[in-house]
């Protein structure tokens, strides 16, 4: 299965740190305690780009903040899970 890890950080330094942590701790396997997961790993390097997030809530609705969006494409293989037809 192909997927995407996507997160938003308040600074470029934080986004780079989180991207490094993701790459440092891959591959994720069943030994990491995730039931049914055989293996998950990144298929490309993390990418970063500036992004605007519109805030929601009673006090700050409509405001926008500038952040950094980090994306890491992944592939995952599963086993020991029920297949529903």
Give the C-alpha separation, 24 to 26, whole Å: 6
Task: Please state the pTM of the whole predicted model.
Answer: 0.76
Q: How far is CA 20 from CA 17, 29, 60, 64, 82, in A?
A: 5, 18, 32, 27, 34
Contact 72, 46 (CB under 8 A): yes
Which sequence spans correspond to the domains of the chain? Answer: 2-78
**Tens digits of residue pLDDT in 53-75:** 887 777 776 788 899 999 999 99
What would the mean pLDDT of 29-49 be, rounded to a whole number? 87
Contacts of 15 (CB under 8 A, 6+ apart): 7, 9, 48, 68, 69, 70
Q: Which of 35, 40, 39 is nearest to 81 (CA)?
A: 35
pLDDT tens-digit readout, 8-18: 999 999 999 99
Judged against a pLDDT cut of 60, whether residue 46 lies above it is answered with: yes
């Amino acid at each position: 299965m192909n997927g995407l890890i996507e997160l938003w950080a308040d600074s470029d330094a934080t986004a780079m740190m989180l991207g490094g942590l993701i790459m440092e701790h891959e591959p994720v396997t069943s030994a990491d305690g995730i039931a049914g997961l055989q293996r998950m790993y990144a298929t490309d390097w993390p990418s970063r780009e500036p992004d605007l997030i519109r805030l929601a809530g009673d006090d700050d609705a409509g405001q926008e903040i500038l952040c950094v969006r980090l994306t890491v494409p992944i592939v995952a293989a599963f086993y020991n899970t029920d297949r529903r037809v």
